[in-house]
Amino acid sequence: MTRNNEHSASETVRTNNAPANMGTKASSKFTVVLRSIWRRGEGKFALIVLALWLAVSLLSLVWTPKSLWATDGYHVWAKPSAAHWLGTDGTGADVFSWLMAGARTNLFIAVLAVVFAGALGILLMSAMVSRSSALSNVSVVAVDALISIPTVLIALILAVPMGASVVVIIIACGIGYGLNLARIARPQALLAANSDYVASALSYGASGFSVIWHHILPNAMPTIMVQLSLSAGTAVLAESGLTYLGVGVPSGVPSWGHSLATSVKFINVYPLTVLWPGLIVTIVVVALNVFGDVLRDVIDPVTNPELREV
Amino acid sequence: MMGVDVNKLGISIGGKSIVRDVNVHIGDGERVGLIGSSGSGKSMISKAMLGLLPINAQTEGSVILGDTQVVGADETVLAGLRGRYVGAVFQNPASSLNPVLTVGKQIELPLKLHYDLDKADRQARVSAMLEKVGLDATVAKKYPSELSGGQQQRVGIATALITSPRLIIADEPTTALDSITQRQIVDLLVSLVDKAGASMLFITHDFSVLARATTRCYVLDGGRIVESGNTADLLEHPQGEQTKKLVAAARELTLQRKQNRDD
């Protein structure tokens, strides 16, 4: 009966005899991660900024202080006032309203670029750590070759047939960040692919897909999540850059890049109109970077004991 | 049922021969040992049985599980065989469990792959299996890093046995454990394997463990079988050079253990 001795001696006995309940796991895990992020000062900052971004985006669909198309011809380049909280631009349109409406375009771009990048990156990462040496070798070389093409160049090429459009930004960012993601997540995935637990999974008959889904992906997830939240920040920056170059958001569609691009020529005369969108982009990008950083610490059950209690 | 016949198995990697001319027979319900020092090719033989040799490995001869030839078999044939008919327990329990999956989830995965059960059924089986390996059902919610080495290896055994395979390949399952836990794990494996009526191939470099786990054994040296027979007999009257060395090492360790206990 020695094994029972070991069992009772080294086990931290918990007395509830409820069978392992994994039913509500996904939702409660999400809450625990959010709570863990909230508990840190910088995490709180990131969550507040991101929540505001989402709230303003939704609000702008139904309400902005002034209509986007209402121009006040008598007050162009106006300073902030009660009538125009952040002043007006060269056409006399309300800067605050345009920035509010821009939030939703940028959110849309960031979310879709991240989804696209995530899907592409995970697919390529899986190919790169495949047990088939032909597939892994080809995908490693392909990713290394393609990664040398700058995102801006991809956008410029895409803009030739498609013109300036939101889709150009999303595809260009998706490809660029997806390739980056695959390369950054590969070492982690490779470590998992060569691990004993994958050998063990193969020994009980797990398929390639099952190994990737149950073993490689969860272990690479912290890296992937961090990289994706950094990518969301970069997508916001890229939108500004590409719109400035004329291949991003078309004129007439509100976005932070659009607000920057239309006012940056007059920075010497009316610096304030450049300051506002610049400030927002900076704050949002910092928040996303911080978010990624904090997320890395809290998403791993090995480093975050709170997740183990779920 | 599930006998194993390894005939003239040869494995080489990159032109370097690792295993040569190995013949092993495991009868139905038999517990057989494979003993040899590090680098003697023990693990390669177990990998060959699972069809999990490195891609660049070249094999000759045959490994027949039941009535299926494993060497050169199609991946789908192998996937059907693994888990259902063969299960494996690995050397290092800490690294053979996925650090980010809960224990319950890991034991559940083979069930999910091989049986068409609903979630409640699977979880009931996981709880029952945990109990069988001497763990509390609440362990299912824990992550591997929260368990001791012995507990982790019990989880490893549970994962290998949950699908009731006919053959258990235990590849040095006790090497990473302390001597007391070693004995508990061996006794647990033996009792579970016997109860299930399964066969076992027990791989180790430690004769003292082997005597507890098996009735018959093969001694491997430099990729060749140099001696075989009843485990107790070999331990009493080792013939070959390598067998003598391994027996002497086991004696020394056992003696030291006894001395330590006396101190």
Kindly state whether residues A2 and A49 are assigned to the same domain: no
Q: Chain B: give the shortest CA distance to residue A204, in Å.
A: 4
Amino acid in position A57: S
Q: Which residues contact A112 (CB under 8 A, 6 or more apart)?
A: A170, A174
Rg of the Cα trace of chain B? 18
Q: Chain B: give the shortest CA distance to residue A30, in Å.
A: 15
CA-CA distance, A115 to A94, in Å (whole number)?
32
Kindly state whether residues A163 and A268 are assigned to the same domain: yes
Amino acid in position A137: N
Look at residue B259 in the predicted model and tell me its pLDDT. 59
Residue A23: Cβ-neighbour burial (10 angstroms; 0-12, 13-18, 19+): exposed
**Is B92's CB within 8 Å of A196's CB?**
yes
Domain count, chain A: 2
Q: Chain A: give the shortest CA distance to residue B90, in Å.
A: 7
Look at residue A14 in the predicted model and tell me its pLDDT. 39
Kindly state whether residues A251 and A109 are assigned to the same domain: yes
Kindly state whether residues A232 and A128 are assigned to the same domain: yes
Over residues B157-173, mean pLDDT: 92
Which one of A200, A209, A304, A308 would you mutate to disrupt binding with B, by most B Cβ within 10 Å of its Cβ? A200
How many interface pairs between A and B have CB atoms less than 8 angstroms apart? 147
Query: Domain coordinates of chain B in residue numbers?
Result: 1-85+167-263, 86-164
Residue A26: Cβ-neighbour burial (10 angstroms; 0-12, 13-18, 19+): exposed
Look at residue B1 in the predicted model and tell me its pLDDT. 53
ipTM of this predicted complex? 0.85
Backbone angles phi, psi at A256, to 5 degrees: -65, -35
The tokens for A310 are 């779920």
Predicted structure pTM score: 0.82
Q: Please tell me the CATH code under which domain B1-85+167-263 is placed.
A: 3.40.50.300
Domain of A268, CATH number, reads 1.10.3720.10
Kindly state whether residues A11 and A92 are assigned to the same domain: no
Helix (H) or strand (E) holding B185: helix B179-196
Identify the band that residue B218 occupies on the pLDDT scale cut at 50, 70 and 90: very high
Q: Are A20 and B127 in contact (CB under 8 A)?
A: yes
Q: Residue A230 is part of which domain span?
A: 40-308
Look at residue A265 in the predicted model and tell me its pLDDT. 86
Kindly state whether residues A192 and A248 are assigned to the same domain: yes
Within 8 A of A302 by CB-CB distance, chain B residues are 99-100, 143, 145
Q: Chain B: give the shortest CA distance to residue A154, in Å.
A: 37
The tokens for A34 are 């959010």
Kindly state whether residues A122 and A11 are assigned to the same domain: no
Within 8 A of A196 by CB-CB distance, chain B residues are 90-92, 95-96
The tokens for B197 are 């009526």
How far CA B122 is from CA of A14, A165, B144, in Å, comes to 22, 50, 20
The tokens for A83 are 């009538």
CA-CA distance, A262 to A258, in Å (whole number)?
6
Chain A nearest-CA residue for B123:
A20
Which candidate, B23, B29, B44, B63, places its Cα nearest to that of B228? B23
CA-CA distance, A70 to A60, in Å (whole number)?
15
pLDDT in tens, B99-138: 989 999 999 999 998 889 999 999 999 999 999 999 999 9
